């Protein structure tokens, strides 16, 4: 009798558990729905516009026809510029925080500042860039000013992911390295940085992905409404995909929708492509890792 | 000759844990000196003073003298704040309780220390790899796969690799902190056998993982209890006729 009641209890538990799992599974599928809808919708609407001419040509007829090449190139250039600005600074700061900084009030203040930097709305970065880089430092509305602005915006992402990656390197490796007569810098250079490199690169790509897709920070600092020629120096302004999308979606009357969605599709592919790259680097590094 | 002399040495950590009180100890060259006793007695701390690994820890108070003696009789003050500690650590190697291989190949593990010291000559590096592996009784097992990742070795092989890695720097002293605590009896026997061979060339200081190991390996034995050195004599003597009742109680298994 005892056995029987036990059996029925466990059967009920099993059933409840299955219902629970099913509910959780359904909810998690629900979170995938919006992203899938966006991607599918943009793809369906925008794909007809994609052609060789669209990707490599200049805008024509007040941007109502022709291509978006200057905007694609501009986004690529701004992303590279951001990388040049953020990578050395971000890694240096992360090395300091992860390996050198003592756990004291000053370090906590620095961390707090970085966390808050990540929370600042991107339009505020835009205004800051306008004030500092465009006006005070007189870079003008330029690739340089926009890259530096995007770099500052990306900095907290790069610093925190790089610091996190360095912290996952087992401390024992550092102790062994020191005990073998290596200096602290040699230990960082030979062990900590190589071992955390995939995590650092992933963080950089995620940061650049955000920079590539932002409009507000470049709005006042480097993005041009329309340029008949490609920029030739870092002090020239440039067209860029996110701002171009904003312009053709709101500022140009009689704009064909397929060009709008085609532009959105190109931006989406660039950003998701960077994301995919980060995922591949991460999973390959995980497979290779020896600890 | 005494390779290392410790005089009236005291140490305290900032959180008050495991300190050392007034330790005086002469460690002879070319012998195995064993530091044994229950956990928390200060043995590991004593080892980490000798290669200044304690610099990484939060030490608040340090007093006394610790001297490393050269073969020509000249002395190095290990506690000197201005001492070149990277050079000291090349001369005083260390092997830890868990075999911690670096995430490189077997060969790169062995050449790491030398390369950090600036050695670039590949012939000399190759020679160091072979000699150190032979000294640690590992050469036959790995000679044809030196470029394999070191983590692929068994636990016992990894620990002998760690010993070889210290030896590759041709140190004068080797510190071993419970080097066989994670190993099976056969691997333990191999490691102990290689230590017996190594004392001809090096001064060895060992924190054993059991009293039996202490008794098997010790030329000299020091009994540490709660941060104090209770007794220090020749190996055989301390285990057969301990003078202090606390040493006797510990050896007979009444505590610890």
Residue B213 in 3-state DSSP? helix
Residue A47 inside a domain? The answer is no
> Quick one: B2-251 is in which CATH superfamily?
P-loop containing nucleotide triphosphate hydrolases (3.40.50.300)
pLDDT in the model for residue A227: 87
Q: Is residue A9 one of the residues assigned to a domain?
A: no
Residue-range definition of the domain harbouring residue A167:
66-242
CA atoms of B124 and A262, how far apart (whole Å): 62
The CA–CA distances, whole Å, from A206 to A159, A210, A222, A279, B167 equal 12, 6, 22, 10, 44
What rounded mean pLDDT belongs to chain A?
90
Q: Which of B86, B149, B169 sits opposite A290 (nearest CB)?
A: B149
Q: How far apart are CA B84 and CA B67, in angstroms?
A: 14
Percent of all residues in chain A with a pLDDT value above 70, rounded to a whole number: 98
* CATH assignment of the domain containing A75: 1.10.3720.10
Reported ipTM: 0.90
CB A125 within 8 A of CB A149: yes
Shortest Cα–Cα distance, B101 to chain A (Å): 8
- Mind listing the pLDDT tens digit for each residue in B118-168? 999 999 999 999 999 998 888 999 999 999 999 999 888 999 999 999 999
The 3 state secondary structure assigned to B99-147 is: CCCCCCEHHHHHHHHHHHCCCCCHHHHHHHHHHHHHHCCCHHHHCCCCC
Closest to A179 (Cβ–Cβ): which among B53, B98, B103? B53
Q: What is the mean pLDDT of residues B47-65?
A: 88
d(CA B163, CA B51): 16
Query: Count of alpha carbons within 13 Å of A36, Cβ hemisphere only?
Result: 5
Under the banding of pLDDT at 50, 70 and 90, the label for residue A3 is low
Reference B128, options B145, B113, B148, B147; nearest CA is B113
Domain membership flag for residue A134: yes
Of B86, B100, B117, which is closest to A176 when you measure between CB atoms? Answer: B100
B116 with A183: Cβ contact below 8 A: yes
For residue A190, CA distances in Å to A100, A149, B51, B104, B170 come to 16, 32, 21, 11, 22
CB B183 within 8 A of CB B155: yes
Q: What's the rounded Cα separation, in Å, for the pair B158 and A214? A: 50
**Which candidate in A169, A171, A176, A181 is best for mutational testing of the B interface (most B CBs within 10 A)?**
A181
Interface of A with B in 164-183 (CB under 8 A): 172-173, 175-183
Residue A132, in any domain of the structure: yes
Instruction: Give the model's pLDDT for residue B60.
Output: 80
Kindly state whether residue A49 falls inside one of the protein's structural domains: no
- Domain membership flag for residue A278: no
Chain B residues within an 8 Å CB radius of A184: none
Question: Which residue, chain included where needed, has tokens 């992402």?
Answer: A157
Work out the average pLDDT over A76-90.
94
In a domain, A81, yes or no: yes
Number of structural domains (chain A) is 1
Residue with token string 């650590």:
B89
In terms of pTM, does the model score above 0.90? no
pLDDT at B18: 63
* The token pair that represents A47 in the structure block: 């794909």
**Distance in angstroms (rounded) separating the CA atoms of residues A5 and A7:** 5
Q: Minimal Cα distance from A289: which residue of B?
A: B103
Asked if B100 lies within 8 A of A186 by C-beta distance, the reply is: no
Q: How many Å is the Cα radius of gyration of chain B?
A: 18
Residue A270 lies in a domain: no
Is the model's pLDDT at A128 over the cut of 60? yes
pLDDT at A283 over 90: no
- Whether the predicted pLDDT of A1 surpasses 70: no
């Amino acid at each position: 009798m005892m056995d029987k009641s036990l059996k029925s209890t466990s059967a009920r538990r099993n059933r409840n558990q299955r219902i629970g799992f099913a509910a959780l599974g359904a909810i998690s599928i629900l979170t995938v729905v919006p992203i899938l809808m966006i991607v599918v919708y943009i793809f369906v609407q925008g794909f007809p516009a994609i052609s060789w001419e669209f990707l490599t040509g200049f805008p024509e007829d007040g941007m109502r026809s022709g291509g978006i090449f200057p905007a694609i190139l501009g986004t690529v250039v701004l992303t590279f510029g951001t990388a040049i600005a953020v990578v050395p600074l971000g890694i240096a700061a992360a090395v300091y925080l992860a390996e050198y900084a003592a756990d004291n009030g000053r370090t906590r203040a620095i961390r707090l500042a970085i966390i808050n930097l990540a929370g600042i709305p991107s339009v505020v970065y835009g205004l800051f860039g306008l004030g500092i880089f465009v006006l005070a430092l007189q870079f003008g509305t330029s690739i340089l000013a926009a890259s530096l602005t995007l770099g500052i915006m990306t900095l907290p992402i790069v610093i925190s992911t790089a610091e996190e990656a360095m912290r996952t390197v087992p401390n024992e490796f550092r102790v062994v390295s020191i005990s073998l007569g290596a200096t602290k810098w040699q230990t960082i250079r030979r062990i900590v940085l190589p071992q955390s490199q995939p995590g650092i690169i992933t963080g950089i790509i995620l940061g650049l992905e955000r920079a590539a897709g932002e409009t507000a920070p470049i709005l006042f600092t480097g993005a041009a409404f329309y340029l008949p020629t490609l920029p030739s120096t870092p002090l020239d302004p440039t067209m860029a995909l996110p701002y171009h999308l904003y312009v053709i979606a709101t500022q140009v009357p009689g704009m064909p929708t397929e060009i709008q969605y085609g532009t959105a599709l190109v931006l989406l592919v660039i950003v998701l492509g960077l994301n995919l790259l980060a995922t591949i680097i991460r999973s390959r590094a995980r497979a290779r890792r020896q600890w | 000759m005494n390779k290392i002399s410790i005089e009236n040495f005291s140490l305290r950590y900032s959180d008050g844990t495991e300190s050392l009180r007034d330790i005086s100890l002469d460690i002879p060259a070319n012998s195995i000196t064993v530091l044994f006793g229950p956990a928390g007695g200060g043995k590991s701390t004593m080892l980490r003073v000798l290669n200044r690994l304690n610099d990484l820890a939060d030490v608040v108070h340090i007093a006394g003298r610790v001297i490393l003696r050269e073969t020509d009789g000249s002395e190095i003050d290990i506690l000197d704040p201005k001492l070149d500690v990277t050079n000291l650590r090349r001369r005083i190697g260390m092997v830890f309780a868990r075999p911690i291989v670096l995430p490189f190949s077997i060969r790169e593990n062995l050449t790491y220390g030398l390369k950090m010291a600036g050695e670039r000559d590949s012939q000399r590096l190759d020679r160091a790899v072979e000699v150190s592996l032979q000294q640690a009784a590992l050469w036959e097992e790995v000679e044809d796969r030196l470029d394999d990742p070191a983590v692929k070795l068994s636990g016992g092989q990894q620990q002998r690799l760690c010993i070889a890695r210290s030896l590759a720097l041709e140190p004068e002293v080797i510190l071993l902190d419970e080097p066989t605590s994670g190993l099976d009896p056969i691997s333990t026997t191999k490691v102990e056998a290689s230590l017996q061979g190594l004392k001809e060339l090096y001064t060895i200081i060992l924190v054993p993982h059991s009293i039996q190991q202490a008794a098997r390996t010790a030329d000299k034995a020091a009994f540490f209890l709660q941060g104090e050195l209770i007794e220090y004599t020749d190996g055989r003597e301390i285990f057969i006729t301990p003078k202090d009742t606390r040493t006797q109680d510990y050896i007979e298994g009444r505590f610890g």
